[in-house]
Amino acid sequence: MNKLIVSALLAGLATATVPAFAEDYASGAIKTMDTAKGEVLTDAKGMSLYTFDKDAAGVSNCYGDCAVKWPPVTAAAGAKAADDFSLVTRKDGAQQWAFKGMPLYLWQGDKKPGDVHGDGMGGVWHLAKE
């Protein structure tokens, strides 16, 4: 399986085995990683990504204190969607990455790569998986 799903065009990381589209919020890639809860989507640093049941496809409903605890995975200017990855426009105009239409977030309680402490939080937060 191709572990690198999203590449950073601006950083020149596009290769024959990497889809040539945009970068994630700051780190350059969204990839997959094996964790205690199976294979999940992560940022380039290995931090687990999550989806929120209160979001709708293409719409983020996590703002204010929610977005402090669950930082949205924002896209760099000029980012372009491809395959199962799309961009959601947040209320402040920022672009947020989404997987299969669902906006992606980090969890403030995850401290190191591979942590999955946010999974199941409040019954509405779930690890993003392919």
For 81-130, the pLDDT digits (tens) are 888 999 999 999 999 999 999 999 999 999 999 999 999 999 999 999 98
Give the Cα-Cα-Cα angle 68, 33, 111 (nearest 5 degrees).
35
Task: Please report the DSSP string for 33-85 in residue order.
Answer: EEETTEEEEEETT--B-EEETT-BTTB----THHHHHS-B-BPPTT---BTTE
pLDDT at 25 over 80: no
Q: Is the dihedral of CA 9, 106, 116, 83 positive or negative?
A: negative
Residue 129's pLDDT is 96
Tens of pLDDT, residue by residue over 38-95, are 999 999 899 999 999 999 999 999 999 999 999 999 988 888 888 899 999 999 999 9
Residue spans of the domains in the chain: they are: 1-130
2-24 pLDDT, tens digit each: 333 333 322 322 222 223 333 44
Answering whether pTM is above 0.85, one says no
Reference 73, options 129, 119, 27, 16; nearest CA is 27
Half-sphere exposure of 100 (CA within 13 A, CB side): 7
Cβ atoms of residues 111 and 34 within 8 Å: no
How far apart are alpha carbons 36 and 102 in whole angstroms?
23
- Return the pLDDT at 59: 97
